[in-house]
């Protein structure tokens, strides 16, 4: 099972995950075919209580790479940097 499908299941359905992430149902549908945007992966990790991690959702994203200003790329991706 793909990570996003597991997240949808754990969240209680596609609409529930969309609501939790502050996006439309259609956005989550697109994530099933494409990639989950890194800026949404942290919220999905929270919604699933860590059962689906941001690394599961976006394995190619450089989560631990420091950015130019010294912040971790992870903080930038989740909108905190």
Cβ(58)–Cβ(36) below 8 Å: yes
The per-residue pLDDT for range 35-78, each reduced to its tens digit, is 999 999 999 999 999 999 999 999 999 988 775 444 455 555 55
Mean pLDDT of 7-29: 97
CATH code of the domain covering residue 37: 1.10.260.40
Q: What is the pLDDT of residue 68?
A: 47
* Better-predicted residue by pLDDT, 30 or 63: 30
Q: What is the pLDDT of residue 80?
A: 54
Residue-range definition of the domain harbouring residue 69: 3-77
Phi, psi for residue 7 in degrees, rounded to 5: -65, -40
Number of domains in the chain: 1
**CA 23 to CA 60: how far, in whole Å?**
23
Q: What is the pLDDT of residue 78?
A: 55
| Nearest partner of 9 among 41, 55, 52, 58, judged by Cα | 52
């Amino acid at each position: 099972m793909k990570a996003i499908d597991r997240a949808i299941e754990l969240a209680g359905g596609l609409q529930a995950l969309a609501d939790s992430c502050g996006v439309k149902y259609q956005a989550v549908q697109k994530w099933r075919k494409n990639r989950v945007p890194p800026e949404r992966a942290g919220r999905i990790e929270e919604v699933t209580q860590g059962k689906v991690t941001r690394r599961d959702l976006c394995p190619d994203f450089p989560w631990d790479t420091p950015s130019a200003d010294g912040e971790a790329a992870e903080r930038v991706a989740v909108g905190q940097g």
